[in-house]
Amino acid sequence: MRGTTTESLKNKVAIVGAADTEVGVVPHLSATQLYVKAAKLALEDAGITKNDVDGLITCISFVEPFMYHAEMIAEYMQIFPRYCMTAPSGGGTTLAIMHHAASAIVTGMCDTVLITMADSQLSGLSRDKAIEAMSGAGHPQFERPYGPPIPAFYALLARAHEHAYGTTAAQRAAVAVACRKHASMNPAAQMRKPITVDDVLNSRMISDPLHLLDCSLVSDGGAAIIMTSAERARDFKQKPIYLLGTGEGHSHEHISQAISLTTSAAKEAGERAYAMAGIGPHDIDVAELYDCFTPVVIIELEDLGFCPKGEGGRFVEGGRIELGGELPINTHGGLLSHCHPGHPGSLFSVTEAVRQLRGECGPRQVKDAKVALVHGQGGIMSTHCTAILGREQL
């Protein structure tokens, strides 16, 4: 396939540290403090000190923005990296920086990268500020005058998928139910009380056809990982988790310019990641998918090849995506039930995938998980990145 960097990064880079801060309602830590706490926990997990880090990547903070965010975090931590980058925004970009970090390691730009991401969207913003922030989405001249809140953008996708393939509200609800079930088994998750399909369907309509429980959370929290070369990884405290494949796809910025409402660039991202890893959807033991809204998961399952186009609604029924099912997804609870502090969202999927592959997940452990797929998307299904992680090199 055009543009596949076949095997250029496969097996060459590993995650050797991964950690989350407390998430959900965390009023006692500022956004910046959450970044640094996540970093400290990941360094401890890896068994190294901050002085061992020579690459730093952060995402921007909505609540405490800085023009040079990564530089600000480096200054705050008093570390002096030789590779320093701020990822601009969004779930896709956030995951794509693992792609950048891996490339930086393989090309020798740095040896050990700290990726830390956090925000305090729940406690750091007033309710009005948060709503105002939401109104910032969309093209200022050609979309915002029509008053679309963020759920409306995704409701347009849900409705189109319904119309094209007969996807139902109950099928979308099954995604929320699965995520909540997994969150109920994760003491760290923000929302842990199990829900039913009826609970989702009876929750308040936000933007037809999406109900409140089809929408992800607003949270505080931070996550961080440490990446280094596979060779160096052997010297770390933790068992390394290897990057087997990664790929990106970018189709538009504004939803009104999207080529398709029902097929996304997750297709290209996934194909590139599978091609690099040399494996396919059937080899995936656990998938951590971007779930800002339930219809996104259904489209991703199709575009990432877990089922044919149009079958995503039927695929999520009957517990197939729950623990014990054919393809457990979002085992920490996802953005729908674990936490969603904004830009960092995807990184919690990465830290969860690492924990699953290390076998640290207790009651929510996917039995004998060897290969995990993580997918992030940002914008409105605009920018996609898939990463495939493994317990062993392939």
Partner 1 sequence: MAANTIKPVPVPTLETRPYWEGCQRHELRIQRCAACGQHQFFPRIYCSKCFNDRVEWVTASGRAKVLSFTIVRRPVSAAFAGEIPYVVALVTLDEGPTMMTNIVGSAPDQVEIGMPVEVTFEDWTEEISIPKFRPAQARSEPL
Closer residue to partner 1, CB minimum distance, 144 or 237: 144
Strands 205-207 and 241-250: unpaired
Using the minimum distance from each CB to partner 1, give the nearer residue, 132 or 360. 132
Of positions 134, 197, 201, 394, contacts partner 1 by CB under 8 A: 134
Shortest separation between residue 151's beta carbon and partner 1, angstroms: 8
User: If you compute the radius of gyration of the chain from its CA atoms, what whole number of angstroms results?
Assistant: 19
Closest distance to partner 1 from the beta carbon of 154 (Å):
9
Residue reference for tokens 């998928």: 161
Q: Is 163 in the site for partner 1 (CB under 8 A)?
A: yes
Region for residue 125 given its phi and psi (left: phi exceeds 0; alpha: psi -120 to 50; beta: otherwise) = beta
Count other Cβ atoms within 10 Å, centred on residue 165: 18
Which residue from 142, 194, 198, 231 is in contact with partner 1, where contact means CB under 8 A? Answer: 142
For residue 214, count other CB atoms closer than 10 A to its CB. 29
The window from 13-21, 99-107, 156-164, 239-247 that contacts partner 1 (CB under 8 A) reads: 156-164
- Is 209 or 359 the residue whose CB approaches partner 1 more closely? 209
Minimum distance from residue 152 beta carbon to partner 1 (Å): 5
Helix (H, G, I), strand (E, B) or coil at 337: helix
Residue 148 sits in the site that holds partner 1 (CB under 8 A): yes
Q: How far is the CB of 206 from partner 1 (least distance, A)?
A: 5
Q: Report the site for partner 1 in 327-366 (rule: CB under 8 A).
A: none
- In 3-state terms, what secondary structure has residue 383? strand
Least distance in Å: CB of 145 to partner 1? 5
Question: What stretches of the chain adopt beta strand conformation (E)?
Answer: 13-20, 55-59, 83-87, 112-120, 205-207, 210-211, 220-229, 241-250, 286-288, 371-378, 383-390
Long-range Cβ contact pairs of 140-148 (< 8 A, separation 24 or more) = 142/254, 142/256, 143/254, 143/255, 143/256
Residue 255 binding partner 1, by CB under 8 A:
yes
Closest listed residue to residue 225, CA positions, set 24, 4, 16, 62: 16
State yes or no: residue 168 binds partner 1 (CB under 8 A).
Answer: no
Of the residues 2, 28, 204, 282, which one makes contact with partner 1 according to CB under 8 A: 204
Segment near partner 1 (CB under 8 A); pick from 65-73, 208-216, 334-342, 343-351: 208-216
Using CB under 8 A, count the residues that bind partner 1. Answer: 38
Cβ contact 50:77 at 8 Å = yes
Neighbours of 326 (CB within 10 A): 11
**235 touches partner 1 (CB under 8 A):** no
Footprint on this chain of partner 1 (rule: CB under 8 A)? 128, 131-132, 134-135, 138-149, 151-152, 155-157, 159-160, 163, 204-210, 254-258, 261
